[in-house]
Amino acid sequence: MTDARPAAVLVLAAGQGSRMKSATAKVLHRMCGRTLLGHVLSAVEPLKPERTLIVVGGAAQPEVERFVNKAAPSADVVVQAPARGTGHAARTAAEALPDLEGTVLVMHGDTPLFTTATLTAVLARHEETRAAATMLTAVMPDPGNYGRVTRDADGHVTGVVEERDATDVQRQINEICTGVYAFDAAALRASLAELTPHNAQQEEYLTDVIAGLVASSAVVASVVADDWRETLGVNDRAQLATARRIMRDRIVAHWMAEGVTVTDPETTWMGVNVRLEPDVTLHQNTQLHGATVIRSGAVVGPDCTLTDTVVGASATVVKSHCVGAEIGADASVGPYSYLRPGTRLGAGGKIGAFVETKNAEIGSQTKVPHLTYVGDATIGADANIGAGTVFVNYDGVDKHHTTVGDAAFVGSGSMLVAPREIGAGAYVAAGSAVTEDVPAGAIGIGRARQRTILGWVLRRRAGTKSAEAARAAGAEGTMESPSPPRSSTDDPRQGSEP
Are residues 306 and 176 part of one domain?
no
Greatest CA separation for the chain: 111
Residue 456 lies in a domain: no
pLDDT of amino acid 181: 97
- How many domains in the chain? 2
- Please check the confidence at residue 67 and state whether its pLDDT lies above 50: yes
Taking only the tens place, the pLDDT of each residue in 224-262 is 999 999 999 999 999 999 999 999 999 999 999 999 999
Instruction: Read off the pLDDT of residues 132-176 as tens digits, 9 standing for 90 and up.
Output: 999 999 999 999 889 999 999 999 999 999 888 889 999 999 999
Burial of 98 (0-12, 13-18, 19+ CB in 10 A): exposed
Greater pLDDT, 60 or 102: 102
Q: What CA–CA distance (Å, rounded) separates 301 from 281?
A: 8
Residue 242 buriedness (CB in 10 A; 0-12 / 13-18 / 19+): middle
The answer to whether position 114 is within a domain reads yes
In the predicted model, is pLDDT for residue 42 greater than 50?
Answer: yes
pLDDT of residue 497: 52
Residue span of the structural domain in which 155 resides: 8-231
CB 377 within 8 A of CB 403: yes
Pair 204, 104 in one domain: yes
Co-location of 402 and 275 in the same domain: yes
State the amino acid at position 252 in one-letter form. Answer: V
Residue 488 lies in a domain: no
Q: What is the pLDDT of residue 109?
A: 97
Same domain, 286 and 398: yes
- The catalytic residue among 29, 321, 370, 401 is 370
Cβ atoms within 10 Å of 172's Cβ, excluding its own:
10
How far is the C-alpha of 48 from the C-alpha of 59, rounded, in Å?
Answer: 30
* Residue-averaged pLDDT of the chain: 93
Q: What pLDDT is attached to residue 489?
A: 43
The rounded percent of the chain whose pLDDT value lies above 90 is 85
Pair 199, 264 in one domain:
no
Question: Pick the residue with more confidence: 58 or 364?
Answer: 364
* 200-212 average pLDDT score: 84
pLDDT value at residue 327: 98
CA distance between the termini of the chain:
61
* Residue where a domain terminates, one of 189, 212, 231: 231
Give me the pLDDT at residue 15, please.
Answer: 83
DSSP string, 337-388: -EE-TT-EEPTT-EEEEEEEEEEEEE-TT-EEEEEEEEEEEEE-TT-EE-TT
Residue 98 lies inside a defined structural domain of this protein: yes
User: Is residue 295 domain-shared with residue 403, that is, in the same domain?
Assistant: yes
Residue 498 in this model has a pLDDT that exceeds 60: no
Residues 180-189 have pLDDT tens digits of: 999 999 999 9
Same domain, 214 and 278: no
34-35 and 30-31: which strand pairing? antiparallel
Domain C-terminal end among 188, 215, 231: 231
Q: Is 126 a catalytic residue?
A: no
Residue 2 lies in a domain: no
Shared domain for 153 and 267, answered yes or no, is no
Domain edge (last residue) among 422, 444, 466: 444
CA distance readout (Å), 493 to 87, 353, 368: 77, 21, 16
Same domain, 218 and 167: yes
Q: Among 146, 199, 200, which Cα is nearest to 175's? A: 146
Dist CA 403 CA 416 (whole Å): 10
DSSP string, 249-305: HHHHHHHHHTT-EES-GGGEEE-TT-EE-TT-EE-SSEEEETT-EE-TT-EE-SSEE
pLDDT of residue 488: 43
The CATH number linked to 175 is 3.90.550.10
The string of pLDDT tens digits covering residues 450-479 is 899 999 999 999 999 999 999 999 988 544
In this predicted structure, the answer to whether residue 1 has a pLDDT above a threshold of 50 is no
Residue 162 · residue 147 · CB < 8 Å = yes
The CATH number of whichever domain residue 357 belongs to comes to: 2.160.10.10
| Spatial distance between the Cα atoms of 86 and 13, rounded to a whole number of angstroms | 10
User: Is the pTM above the cut of 0.85?
Assistant: yes
Angle (nearest 5°) at CA 348 between 367 and 438: 35
Alpha helical stretches, state H, 45-142: 61-71, 86-95, 116-129
pLDDT number for residue 100:
92
Contact 231, 138 (CB under 8 A): yes
The answer to whether residues 95 and 224 belong to one domain is: yes
**pLDDT attached to residue 474:** 92
- 23 vs 3: CA distance, rounded Å: 40
> Is pLDDT above 80 for 277?
yes
Do residues 136 and 126 lie in contact, with contact meaning Cβ atoms separated by under 8 Å? no
Does any domain span residue 486?
A: no
Q: Is residue 108 very low, low, confident or very high in pLDDT (cuts 50, 70, 90)?
A: very high
Residue 52 · residue 77 · CB < 8 Å: no
pLDDT for 199 equals 64
Is 384 part of a structural domain of the chain?
yes
Q: How far is CA 432 from the centre of its chain?
A: 41
Q: What is the mean pLDDT of the segment spanning 78-88?
A: 89
Q: Are residues 15 and 153 in the same domain?
A: yes
**Whole-number percent of the chain with pLDDT over 70:** 94
CA 187-175-155 angle, to 5 degrees, is: 65
Same domain membership, residue 225 and residue 116: yes
Confidence band, pLDDT 50/70/90 cuts, at residue 493: very low
Cis peptide before 485 (omega within 30 of 0): no
Q: Between 315 and 497, whose confidence is greater?
A: 315
Task: Assess if residue 46 is contained within a domain.
Answer: yes
Q: Is 250 exposed, middle or buried (0-12, 13-18, 19+ CB in 10 A)?
A: middle
CA atoms within 13 A on the CB side of 10: 33
Give tens-digit pLDDT for 11-30: 999 987 899 999 999 999 99
